[in-house]
Homo-oligomer: A and B are copies of this chain.
Amino acid sequence: MAKDSVLKIGVVGYGYWGPNIVRNFMNAKGGTVVAVSDVNPNSQVRVRSLYPSLEVTGIADDILASPEIDAVAIVTPPLLHFPMAKTALENGKHVFVEKPFTCSTGEAEQLIELADRKHLRIMVDHTFLFTGAVRKIRELIDNDTLGQLYYYDSTRVNLGMFQTDANVVWDLGPHDLSIMDYLIRRAPEAVVATGEKHVNGVEDVAFITIYFPDKIIAHLNVNWLSPVKVRTTLIGGEKKMLVWNDLEADEKIKVYDKGVKRTNGDGVYDLRVSYRAGDMWAPRVDQLEALKLETQYFVDCILNNQTPFNDARAGLRVVRILEAVDRSLSNKGGIVYL
């Protein structure tokens, strides 16, 4: 696109998350929303009352195939991501799509091939990568504050949201999997997952281990049946360790000057490690709305012909782990190499 033109965006899906997508793309510099579709008539009414100037439709293809539209945002249940993204790409549109990118690696690979062939961009909405907290942790890893990583251990549990076409891993897992991908920056080697189906035939509780090179181990505890909401991640490094509690209003990240060192003991009962415990430090974390940054970044990438870091290949990496998790779950554990 010409750099001074305005990117015309159509949004498909106006349920729980769609309103945030529309609001943010409306306010993006260089972009604007021109049309919204949703099969639910009530959603259509809501769009019309808030944005009387927008075209509203019940038929997604009105948007996916519209010659007036440059890019589409697909904010639908996951099963529809692939067919809709495919149609959009075939009609020459850039694609912004919710997580998980697709329901299989095969679908993801098809979309990547298609977008490459047509010189179109795909961005997957891994919103957390745009939060102040995740960007700060990335900084602490990149500037070697934490040192060599030991582990990433996340607990992401709450009561619901049960879905009928996905288990708790496909619902809650993409957040942590995309964050790990962004922070650890190594290709995972293998996955082990366990879980149980208590309520409606899909796993509502699951525990996932991901092995990375250099003894980095990641763990993810996801649960739709927890009485309390927890969003806590522990990250251990050789030099420092941190706790990220995303439910804290002000001190989301606490960095601990704590560590362990191997030492030489000479007797049988001597401890061979020693501990270090110093100050704790909670760096100020940027409070800007992550989705605002991300939608702006999408518009900028397209206007400037750049590949976003959260592109379809990043989306594929997450889907590959999700597939491996399902395979391990169906064996009640058991290692799945990637």
Complex interface: chain B residues within 8 A of A199 (CB): 260, 262, 273
Among residues 142 to 171 in chain A, which have CB atoms less than 8 Å away from a CB atom of chain B?
Answer: 150-151, 153, 155, 157, 159-164
Contact of A256 with B228 in the complex, beta carbons under 8 Å: yes
Q: Tell me if A41 is interfacial: C-beta within 8 Å of chain B.
A: no
Q: Tell me if A34 is interfacial: C-beta within 8 Å of chain B.
A: no
One digit per residue, 1 when the CB lies within 8 angstroms of any chain B CB and 0 when it does not, for chain A 270-309 equals 1111010111111110000000000000000000000000
Q: Tell me if A327 is interfacial: C-beta within 8 Å of chain B.
A: no
Which stretch of A66-74, A173-181, A207-215 is in the interface? A207-215
Complex interface: chain B residues within 8 A of A29 (CB): none
Using known A-B contacts A209-B207, A273-B162, A279-B281, determine if residue A227 contacts B223 with beta carbons closer than 8 Å.
no
Q: Tell me if A197 is interfacial: C-beta within 8 Å of chain B.
A: yes
Q: How many copies does the complex hold?
A: 4
Complex interface: chain B residues within 8 A of A205 (CB): 150-151, 153, 217, 236
Q: Decide if the interface of chain A is mainly helix, strand, loop or mixed.
A: strand
Task: Quote the shortest CB–CB distance from A5 to chain B (angstroms).
Answer: 23
Among residues 206 to 238 in chain A, which have CB atoms less than 8 Å away from a CB atom of chain B?
Answer: 207, 209, 211, 215-217, 219, 221, 223-229, 234, 236
Complex interface: chain B residues within 8 A of A52 (CB): 52
CA distance A270 to B164 in the complex (A): 8
Contact of B241 with A234 in the complex, beta carbons under 8 Å: no
Contact of B260 with A162 in the complex, beta carbons under 8 Å: yes
Q: Tell me if A106 is interfacial: C-beta within 8 Å of chain B.
A: no
Complex interface: chain B residues within 8 A of A277 (CB): 159, 284
Q: Tell me if A184 is interfacial: C-beta within 8 Å of chain B.
A: no
Q: Tell me if A334 is interfacial: C-beta within 8 Å of chain B.
A: yes
**Which residue of chain B is the closest to A278 with respect to CB atoms?**
B284
Contact of B251 with A280 in the complex, beta carbons under 8 Å: yes
Q: Out of B192, B198, B256, which one reaches A194, CB within 8 Å?
A: B192
Complex interface: chain B residues within 8 A of A332 (CB): 190, 192, 211, 335
Complex interface: chain B residues within 8 A of A120 (CB): none
**Which residue of chain B is the closest to A165 with respect to CB atoms?**
B268
Contact of A151 with B215 in the complex, beta carbons under 8 Å: no
Closest 5 CB pairs of A and B: A192-B333, A227-B256, A227-B241, A194-B209, A280-B282
Additional 5 contacts, C-beta under 8 A, given A162-B273, A194-B209, A277-B284: A150-B196, A159-B275, A223-B236, A226-B236, A333-B334
